[in-house]
Amino acid sequence: MAFELAPLPYAHDALEPHTSSQTLHLHHGKHLQTYVTNLNNLTKDSPLASLSVVDVVKATVGKADQQGIFNNAGQIYNHDLFFACMKPNGGGAIPAALEAKLIADFGSVAAFKEAFHQAGLTQFGSGWAWLVLDGGKLSVTKTGNADTPIAHGKTPILVCDVWEHAYYVDFQNRRADFLKAFLENLVDWDAAAARLAAA
Ligand code: MN3
C-alpha cells in the first residue's frame, strides 16, 4: 500500500482572499504531492513502506542515514495537519474548553496569539509554528524544515506552515501578514478544540 496524497479538505478557492487558489494548487498539488512521491520512492521495498506516516516519522527521527525519509514523512504529516487547521471563514470565537485552557496556560488568548505569531515570525528560514500539548500543558514552539513535535513526544493542536511556499504568492515577503490572516481568518478553532479534547 503506497503512501497517498490526502485530499484537500475544501475547494482550492475556499480560503480566498487569504490564501489563493493558486497557492493551494501549488502547495497541495505540487509541494505535498512531491513529498508523497519521494516517500514512496525512498521506502520502496523497505519495511517502512507498510507503516503509517506517523510511525515512519517516529522510526526515522535522529537517524542520519534515514534523514531523507524522515524529511518527506515529516512534511506529509505536517502538511496534512496544516490544511486541516484551516477552513473557509475561519477565525472567530474559540470553543469554551480550548479558550479556558489557553487562558490557563498563557494568561490570555491575546498572549497565546502573540506567542504563536512570534514563533512563526522568528523561525529562521523554513519551518513551522505550533501550539502543542506537552505534559498536560499547552505551549507554543517552532520547528525547522520538516521537524515535527510528534517526533519529540508532544501532541500538536495547531500548526502554521511558514515555509515561503505557503504564503509568497499571496503575501510576498510579508510573513507577519500571513500569520495574522492565519490566526484571524483561516484557523479552524473547532478542529483545534477537538484535537485538545482527544489528547
Ligand atoms: Mn508547505
Q: Where are the beta strands (DSSP E) in 34-190?
A: 127-134, 137-144, 155-161
Alpha carbon of 165 to ligand 1 centroid (Å):
6
> Rounded to an integer, what distance in angstroms lies between the CA atom of residue 123 and that of residue 52?
28
Question: What phi, psi does 136 have (nearest 5°)?
Answer: 85, -5
Cell numbers standing for residue 153: 513526544
- Supply the DSSP string of 153-198, one letter for each residue: T-EEEEEEE-SGGGTHHHHTT-HHHHHHHIIIIIB-HHHHHHHHHH
96-198 and 21-84 share a CATH fold: no
| pLDDT at 189 (0 to 100) | 98
Model confidence pTM above 0.85: yes
Alpha carbon of 161 to ligand 1 centroid (Å):
6
pLDDT value at 119 more than 90: yes
Instruction: Identify the band that residue 19 occupies on the pLDDT scale cut at 50, 70 and 90.
Output: very high
Alpha carbon of 121 to ligand 1 centroid (Å):
15
Which percentage of the chain shows pLDDT scores above 90? 99
| pLDDT at 70 (0 to 100) | 98
Alpha carbon of 78 to ligand 1 centroid (Å):
8
Superfamily, domain 21-84: Fe,Mn superoxide dismutase (SOD) domain (1.10.287.990)
Alpha carbon of 79 to ligand 1 centroid (Å):
6
> Rounded to an integer, what distance in angstroms lies between the CA atom of residue 45 and that of residue 41?
9
> Rounded to an integer, what distance in angstroms lies between the CA atom of residue 89 and that of residue 18?
10
Alpha carbon of 166 to ligand 1 centroid (Å):
5
- With respect to CATH, is domain 96-198 assigned 3.40.50.10810? no
Q: Kindly report, residue by residue over 37-88, the tens digit of the pLDDT.
A: 999 999 999 999 999 999 999 999 999 999 999 999 999 999 999 999 999 9
User: What residue segments make up the domains of the chain, in order of their start?
Assistant: 21-84, 96-198
DSSP state of 37: H
Alpha carbon of 123 to ligand 1 centroid (Å):
14
Alpha carbon of 107 to ligand 1 centroid (Å):
30
| pLDDT at 1 (0 to 100) | 63
Alpha carbon of 129 to ligand 1 centroid (Å):
12
Alpha carbon of 101 to ligand 1 centroid (Å):
28
Mean pLDDT of the chain: 97
Alpha carbon of 39 to ligand 1 centroid (Å):
16
Instruction: Provide the residues around ligand 1 (an ion) whose CB is within 5 A.
Output: 161, 163, 166
